[in-house]
Structures are given as C-alpha cells and as structure tokens.
Amino acid sequence: MSSINILNIRQADGLNEAIAELKYHFEKKINLEKYSDDKPNVSLSNNKLMRICLLAGLSTEGKRSSEEIENIQLGSNRIFETLFTLHNLSPIFFSLLKLRYNTVNIDWENNRINSKVVNAEIFRGYNVLMKEGALEEWLTNTINNTSQSNSGSIPVLNLNIGMYEDDIPATLNLNGKEIPNTQILVAGTTGSGKSNLLAVLLNEIRSLSVESNYPVNFLLFDYKGEFSDPANNHWLALFETDRAAILDPISAPLPFNPFKSFIGKPQNEINLYSTELANALCAIDNARISANMSNRLSEAIISSYKVTKNKAISFDLILKEYTRAQPARDQEKDDSIKSVLKQLIRTNLFSKEDRIDLIRDSYIVKMDGFPKDGPIAKAIVFFIVSKLNSIYETLPKQVVDDNCVELRHFTIIDEAHYMLGFDNKPLRDLIATGRNKGLSIILATQNMDSYKSDYFDFYANAQYPLIMKQQSINDGVIKDLFGVSGNEFKEIKEAIANLQKGELIIKNPTAIQLGLGKKYKIIKVRHLI
C-alpha cells in the first residue's frame, strides 16, 4: 500500500481548543486529587491526545463524505509527523484512512486534502470521546503495549517554522550530525513578531521530542511576563507544560542554591570562580568599582568557602566576609559592592538548597517584576545560567545515532542585550559546552548589532541568525553574516528594511557556498500565539 505524505499536515481551526477541553477531562480521570511525596500529576501531550482522537475516529465505521472534508477550515499551524510515526503506527494509519475513505474520491497526493481528512478524523474521535462514559470505556479497554515502539530513537528536530516565499516549508535542522552547533539568534524590534517566533520554536522542539525517550526540556526567561501571564495559560499546552513550570522570584525564592559546591575540588577552582563571580557582581550594577574593592570581594568569596568547607556559600556570608575584610573605619559604611549584596539579600531570590533539577523539567522564570537593566534581573539570569553550567559539567556526553545528536535542553533568553554588555563567562561557557552536552541556546534581542559585544562574537558562533524587522542594522553585520558587498549588500539591506510583521531573513548556505543565487531567504513565520 502506498504511503500518505504526513509532512506538513496542517491543523484545522478550533483543533487546539478541542484538544484542550479533552485534555482537561482526560487528566481529571487519570489523576488523583492529591499525590504524596511531591509527585506531579500525569500530563498528556497534545500529540498523544490527537493520536487518541485519530484512533477513536478511525475506529468508527460511519460513512465519510466529501462535504465533511470540505467543511474543515485549515489554519497555519501543523500536526507533527510524530503523531503518526511513534510506535511504528504509520502503516496502520495509512491503511485505516484509505479504508474509511474508499468510497470518497480522495487525491492522497494533495497535502491540503490530506490535512482536511486527518483533521476530520481527529474531530470525529473527539466527538466520540466526549460522549458520556466514553473516556472510561477507552481507558479500561486500552492496553498500553509499547514493547515494539520506536520511541527509543533520538527524535529528529527539523523545526518547521513557516514558509518560504515560494510556499515551500521552511525548516531548521537543529540536531543533525552535520550541524556544527545548535545556537539560534533572533533579532527583531517591538512589533516584529519576535514573541510568536520564540513560541513557534518552543512548540516545535517540545512537540517533536516530548513523547520520545529523549524529551528536550527548556528554560525561558520571560522578561515581558507574557508567557507566564494567567491570561495566556492556553499557550503552555503548546509547549507541553502547565503552570507548575512558572517560577516567580517575587512570590517565592527560586528553588535552588545558585552557588557552586567545591567539595573534593582543588583550591585553584575556587580561586578562579571567585574572580568570575566578583567580576559579575561588580558588572551587574554598572557601578564604579575600585581595584581594591574588586580584590576584596574575591577574597571574601574565597573566605566564605573556607567557612563552609567548600560547600555552597550564600550572599549573607559573602557580605559578612567582605565587611570583615574592610578597614575598621569603613565597616559601617555602604559601598557599591555592599549595596548590590544587600539588594540580593533583601530580595531573597534563591533557596539555600536544590529542590529542582533545572534540566530534567521545563521552567519559565517570570522576570517582569524587575527592571530589565537592573542588578536583580541581571543576577537572576547570571546565576541561573551559572547553575546550568554546573549541572552540565556533571553530565556524560550526549547520545549520537546514525543521523542525529541528542539534544537535552535549551535556554531562551529574551532581551538578551542586557546580558551581553559585560564579560558573561557562564553564558559563553554554556555556548561552548552546548554541542558536546546536548544544549541549545536561543538568544533574542531587538537588534543584531547587540550580539557582537566587546567580550564575545555571538553571531559568529550561531548556526541560525534570524533577522526580523529592525529599526536599523549595522552595515558591517550584514557584510559579516552574508559575506556580501556591492549590489548584493544593497539588496539584502533593502530586503531587511521591507520585512513585515512575522517575516524574517535567514542565510541561504547553499547559495553562499556555491556563490550562485540569492544569499538570503525570506520566511513567513507561522502564527501560533
């Protein structure tokens, strides 16, 4: 039997809303009202729910009609191919679809028609399952046997983010063996569609991986508060998570200790860390710091580790040791360093012990309660990224198969320019560590110029620089990214200036390599939020 093209099957309007309703009723049936030992509720992925609906729909023998298909209105978002391929179910789905529609004239080569047929069956299954008593019947009569599944393979993270100008799907290969790194840079001014693009990237990575043995979790710094806004709760289902993922430092300390433990480590590692940490604490407040003050802070950090016998330290202890190291006449006075430390102590940002694993689950850090360029916001990002580095140091090298490299986790930092204006070693280390440990990092800011800092050339190390509408863009950035001059340079600059909301420009590596054709492509990002 010939296969059906399952790539780029589009979702129908109203499908996400229907799945959200079914998800509520399904999870209400399978979860207890209360779990002990901090066990989380079971959460079903959208893909799994759609698969259940599709199976329920195809199990009904009712007559199908062309009118029913034509009534389906397609949106811009897609149904992920893993819906069909997980557990090697594709042949079964192909057979059942052709069986149920054997009396209807279907052009199975037409992707638009395929999309409508699949959606019609999912809606049919939804209607079946929402009947009184249907969920109980399905739950009691379904055997979960995945012994022959292919869920153990590394998921292919080929992210479908929209369409090129010629209506060809636009994809970003994130974990193919031939891809040298996994970094994505986004630059777009207010109103360019940057938030929607980040949501699409989240949606793609999570939906393609969450049902596999290699789920890719994420950490998102939500500067605007839009991803953590209760009014946008429906967004979270698109990222295969819920409000348990929201970490709000204003409501409660972040549930981990931000400082490294050096138990069993040589003293020199503490010395190096003290310098790195002292530089960061000085930099995040943009204050003038004398060399004596910076050195005193480094010594205070080293002394703090002596007090704890190399266990993780605290801001209180650093302040105490810093004050003790001051001349007696200055100990009652505040200086810039004391001011930063006291702000961090007052805000009580972090717990004294680790209660979560930042990479084994997904989290959204609510940042809108702090000034974006203030010391508290910078400290939150700095210490969380530093914590991620500490975790990654302990991990084995990621798994590799014939085609793909395992991706474990990705971090999204919006308004990234606030973290690029100083020597942010944890961020640089995270990027350097990424490929060998299975990390992706996505940075987003308003202008591509911000990524070429005095301390690190971020866009030179990025696999996918994505340029959206800009207020202005440095000529040197265009020349560096695309390797163009003369008329080619003028053409790309004009194309960037003419970008509309939801559009972006990306490098065309084939044209750049061959020296033929346009060295850029324009993508219309699919609308998700």
| Same domain membership, residue 287 and residue 271 | yes
pLDDT per residue as tens digits for the range 198-247: 999 999 999 999 888 899 999 999 999 999 999 998 899 899 998 889 99
Q: What is the CATH number of the domain that holds 427?
A: 3.40.50.300
| Same domain membership, residue 310 and residue 196 | no
Per-residue confidence (pLDDT) for residue 231, from 0 to 100: 93
Q: Which helix (H) or strand (E) holds 439?
A: strand 439-445
| Same domain membership, residue 361 and residue 338 | no
What is the rounded average pLDDT of the residues 284-303?
Answer: 82
> For residue 469, what pLDDT band results from cuts at 50, 70 and 90?
very high
Per-residue confidence (pLDDT) for residue 151, from 0 to 100: 54
pLDDT per residue as tens digits for the range 377-420: 888 988 898 888 888 888 888 888 888 999 999 999 988 888 77
| Same domain membership, residue 388 and residue 299 | no
Query: How far is it, in rounded angstroms, from Cα 453 to Cα 45?
Result: 40
| Same domain membership, residue 167 and residue 121 | no
What is the rounded average pLDDT of the residues 352-376?
Answer: 89
Is 151 among the domain residues?
A: no
Residues 6+ apart with CB under 8 A from 215: 206, 209
**Structural domain ending residue among the three candidates 332, 347, 362:** 347
With a pLDDT cut of 70, the percent of the chain lying above it is 94
Per-residue confidence (pLDDT) for residue 108, from 0 to 100: 87
Count CA atoms within 13 Å of residue 41 on its CB side.
Answer: 19
**Structural domain ending residue among the three candidates 91, 113, 141:** 141
Per-residue confidence (pLDDT) for residue 84, from 0 to 100: 87
Per-residue confidence (pLDDT) for residue 287, from 0 to 100: 62
Is 307 among the domain residues?
A: yes
| Same domain membership, residue 222 and residue 124 | no
Query: How far is it, in rounded angstroms, from Cα 154 to Cα 204?
Result: 15
Least confident of 79-88, 301-310, 344-353: 79-88
Is 442 among the domain residues?
A: yes
Per-residue confidence (pLDDT) for residue 78, from 0 to 100: 87
Per-residue confidence (pLDDT) for residue 301, from 0 to 100: 94
Is 165 among the domain residues?
A: yes
DSSP of 477-522, one letter per residue?
HHHHHH---HHHHHHHHHHHHTPPTTEEEEE-HHHHHHT-S-SEEE
With a pLDDT cut of 90, the percent of the chain lying above it is 37
What is the rounded average pLDDT of the residues 122-127?
Answer: 93
pLDDT per residue as tens digits for the range 136-164: 877 776 544 444 444 568 889 999 999 99
The count of domains in the chain is 3
| Same domain membership, residue 81 and residue 25 | yes
What is the rounded average pLDDT of the residues 54-60?
Answer: 90
Q: Tell me: pLDDT of 483 over 50.
A: yes
Is 150 among the domain residues?
A: no
Per-residue confidence (pLDDT) for residue 149, from 0 to 100: 44
Per-residue confidence (pLDDT) for residue 166, from 0 to 100: 79
Per-residue confidence (pLDDT) for residue 184, from 0 to 100: 92
Is 149 among the domain residues?
A: no
Query: How far is it, in rounded angstroms, from Cα 470 to Cα 484?
Result: 19
Per-residue confidence (pLDDT) for residue 29, from 0 to 100: 82
Domain, as residue range, for 388: 158-255+351-525
Residue 141 one-letter amino acid = N
| Same domain membership, residue 483 and residue 378 | yes
| Same domain membership, residue 444 and residue 382 | yes
| Same domain membership, residue 237 and residue 164 | yes
Is 146 among the domain residues?
A: no
| Same domain membership, residue 367 and residue 335 | no
Least confident of 95-99, 196-200, 470-474: 470-474
Per-residue confidence (pLDDT) for residue 148, from 0 to 100: 42
Residues 6+ apart with CB under 8 A from 193: 468, 469, 501, 502, 503, 525
| Same domain membership, residue 414 and residue 502 | yes
DSSP of 56-104, one letter per residue?
HHHT--PPP-HHHHHTPPEEEEEE-THHHHGGG-HHHHHHHHHHHTTTS
Is 148 among the domain residues?
A: no
What is the rounded average pLDDT of the residues 22-47?
Answer: 76
